[in-house]
Amino acid sequence: MKLKQQLIAEIQGIIAQARDRAIRSVDAERVLMYWQIGKIIFEEEQQGEDRAAYGSFLIKGLADELEPQFGSGFSRRHLYWYVQFYRSFPNVNALRTQFSWTHYRTLIRIEQEAKREFYIAEAAKNNWSARQLERQVNSQLFERLLLSNDIESVLKVARTEKMPTEPKEIIKDPMVLEFLGLKRQAAYYEKDLEQALITHLYDFILELGNGFSFVARQKRLHIEGDDFFVDLVFYNRLLQCFVVIEIKTDKLTHQDLGQLQMYVNYFDRYEKQDYENPTIGILLCADKNDAVVKISLPEHNKTIIASKYQLYLPTEAQLIAEVKKEIERIDYQIPEE
């Protein structure tokens, strides 16, 4: 015979699961309802000669009738959203059942089709909540990946049509750490930033990207009587390798890169299994000189990455400027035939 507490817990679990299913079912119906409303309004709009003027007149008239009866969800602004929803997703069979209306409201604001496709694929693959999706869009994840990859490569990795084979395909530069809540002007030590990352480990792994698992903090390496400590150690199951991270709260130096290279060498020689790929080292720094990074590392280096972190969300204009700068740098390096 079951104990009373066990019985209560079992019933509570059944109730919670049923409520969760009911909420998902209601939200799915709501998404479909908004899509159907958008479709009807859009098709009616197409019958007007001056479609823009007729569309505005139509939506205003509908809002005047519907909002007093059904509430603010049918205001003029919301009806515009529903039309945009249908325009962005004209195929009802392509709608994702795991996405809430809040997911779609973020997605329909993305005008560029390739960019929207990227976020749809990543959100579905990683089961992002609506808040996580909004955060990734606001942090310009797509643009940051484009700094070191082409659009087709980024989309293939997002759609799992291609497994990442190089760190640059999933590791961003810069990394955005606004979730730490640290002030830009404040002085803080590396151990403070490290502690903040551990406190917000879930958000940090989300920022790192796909396939990361936490392994250790302040990992001790004992080398011929000397002890060294690696700030953070992760493992990436997609790249099948260890990822060691060193934190610097000031500008990167070539000595920092040399220290990180030593840690990477140690893991490759004493921790890595034969079936695993070479260890990746990430130097997370407040500032860096890309020329110093390039000349300090081997010419064909693919395992050491210097990534600048920032404690605020970047604007799209900032990322576009970075992309242009990167293109100019690459063009400058290519010799003319």
In a 13 Å sphere around the CA of 47, the CA atoms on its Cβ side amount to: 6
Alpha carbon distance 76, 66 (integer Å): 10
Q: What is the pLDDT of residues 206-222, one digit of tens each?
A: 999 889 999 999 999 99
Give the model's confidence band at 325: pLDDT under 50 very low, under 70 low, under 90 confident, else very high.
Answer: low
Alpha carbon distance 202, 214 (integer Å): 10
Q: Are 188 and 249 in contact (CB under 8 A)?
A: yes
Alpha carbon distance 166, 280 (integer Å): 10
Dihedral over alpha carbons 323, 328, 330, 333 (to 10 degrees): -160
Mean pLDDT over residues 327-332, rounded?
A: 50
Alpha carbon distance 206, 140 (integer Å): 14
pTM comes to: 0.80
Does the structure show a pLDDT above 70 at 329?
no
**H/E element, 281:** strand 280-287
E strand segments, 49-96: none
Give the model's confidence band at 3: pLDDT under 50 very low, under 70 low, under 90 confident, else very high.
Answer: low
Please tell me the predicted confidence (pLDDT) of residue 333.
47
Does the structure show a pLDDT above 90 at 137?
yes
Burial class (CB in 10 A: 0-12, 13-18, 19+), 207: buried
Please tell me the predicted confidence (pLDDT) of residue 95.
93
Contacts of 236 (CB under 8 A, 6+ apart): 170, 211, 212, 213, 243, 280
Alpha carbon distance 225, 128 (integer Å): 46
Does the structure show a pLDDT above 50 at 141?
yes
Dihedral over alpha carbons 239, 244, 250, 254 (to 10 degrees): -90
- Provide the percentage of residues in the chain whose pLDDT is more than 90: 51
Complete domains list, the chain, with CATH: 4-104 (no CATH), 110-169+319-337 (no CATH), 175-313 (3.40.1350.10)
Beta bridge partners of 247: 284
Q: What is the pLDDT of residues 115-124, one digit of tens each?
A: 999 999 999 9
User: Cα-atom radius of gyration of the chain, to the nearest Å?
Assistant: 25
Return the minimum-mean-pLDDT range out of 37-51, 89-103, 285-299, 310-324: 310-324
Please tell me the predicted confidence (pLDDT) of residue 115.
94
Give the model's confidence band at 8: pLDDT under 50 very low, under 70 low, under 90 confident, else very high.
Answer: confident
Q: Are 108 and 81 in contact (CB under 8 A)?
A: yes
Alpha carbon distance 204, 197 (integer Å): 6
Q: What is the pLDDT of residues 176-232, one digit of tens each?
A: 999 998 876 666 788 889 999 999 999 999 999 889 999 999 999 999 889 999 999
Alpha-carbon torsion (325, 326, 327, 331), positive or negative: positive
Report CA-CA distances (Å) from 117 to 84, 122, 260.
16, 9, 36
230: its two tokens: 């690696």
